[in-house]
Structure 1
């Protein structure tokens, strides 16, 4: 009866210069590198027999180990979404099965958790930015966070906190538009809050708690400038049409009708004198 063919054996294991990495020699020939955790997991030792299947399992596990180390470096000091980690590993040209196995390991160790990420992201944005829930939700979608996790995260930003933050943002916007007529200022603040991601209901509450006060001198200066431009632009019309069109344009820009009428009366007196 023929003797059973001997399986390849590990004849030497040497330490690499890289921390926690080892070189494995089979039948006195270099075979493959492995990490310390893979060596422990497979209980690799000198004299161990390694068939083809076991070798493939060891190499696959080492691929995951290397990808895991890269993921840990990427996660160091920062929370990341699964999609961000996946994208980073793909940039390293790591095979997709290895990436998925790495993500599974990271999930098991709670090193990636999109629900926790969403909660942390919402709290940070609410505390440090001028962005409302709509923009925050859009940002989280772009990071690959699923809708359920986003909604749970947004629970961290209460309506009350949105209004409190929104009032401060509204004050800054109002200051920026202080040269505008009061009604136009309010309209632009509304649009600004909407652009920043606050909902209509929340904006209404914010505006109700915001005191708008235009600078009379600036508003008057602005009206005079606008009146001169509009009046000149309408010079091709007869005097009656010119007044009507000028009044309508300036009123549409948010200026008070009494102030507009006052300038038109001055212009009328000037034209008639």
Structure 2
């Protein structure tokens, strides 16, 4: 049994140092101080000190969690991992998380809904990528499914169309076929599903391509490949150049015409 001889305020607000029989014994949060009436002259035995230590650990964990949550929505996993970084015991972390949930300070569904809304409004990510990010954040499948309801098919098509137009511009020097393939791949990589991609492709098909642009792209690519295959002679150079152009999706008749023109222009 010890007697509290001094209660000292720490520099860190809301924290105190407790002295028993003239010697420093343990720290305590203000809430713990009040709960156990830890004032000068109070007696503290080992059993009570163990309770104080546990409640102070919980108070410390709760305080750190509140600081981490300040101004931001966080997932349960993020808060858990943050507290683990402070080397807080697992049972204390679990109690802290339950308390945060009880006070509605931690809500994975609300976090997921906010994340989906933000990503749908500000990014070019599709639902599969967004869902994957939420899974990595420790959100349950049920909460993800409910949150994704806020990302309508109409919004997905709108965002996917914007992305598709950017990809069309990026690959404007490719053949129409290859450009279409890269747009599809780009949309898929960003997490858009087949239904949305099909709708977007239908929209793009409604915008006719300029055949002159396709021919210009073919001529430019053919010239590069012709030069690259210069080490081959005669028919082998011609066939390699044509195969390369076929692989890039250009029209066969147009390829023959352009390559024949290259042969006439380059008699070397």
Given the alignment, which residue of 141, 145, 156 partners 1:151?
145
Q: Does 1:137 align with 2:127?
A: no
| 1:1-273 matches, cutoff 5 A | 7-210=1-204, 211-212=206-207, 214=209, 216=211, 218-230=213-225, 233=229, 239=235, 246-266=241-261
1:176-201 per-position Cα deviation (integer Å, ceiling 9, x unaligned): 11111222211111110001011111
Structure 1: which 5+ runs fail to align?
A: 1-6
By how many angstroms is 1:214 displaced? 4.5
Contact residue 223 and residue 262 of structure 2 kept, 8 A? no
1:84-124 per-position Cα deviation (integer Å, ceiling 9, x unaligned): 11111122222222222221221211212111111111111
Contact residue 2 and residue 21 of structure 2 kept, 8 A? yes
Q: Distance in 1 between matches of 2:13 and 2:163?
A: 51
By how many angstroms is 1:67 displaced? 1.4
Q: How many positions carry a matched residue from both structures? A: 265
* Partner SS for 1:209: helix
By how many angstroms is 1:222 displaced? 2.6
Question: In structure 2, do the counterparts of structure 1 residues 271 and 96 end up closer, same or farther at CA, with 3 Å as the change threshold?
Answer: closer
Contact residue 222 and residue 241 of structure 2 kept, 8 A? yes
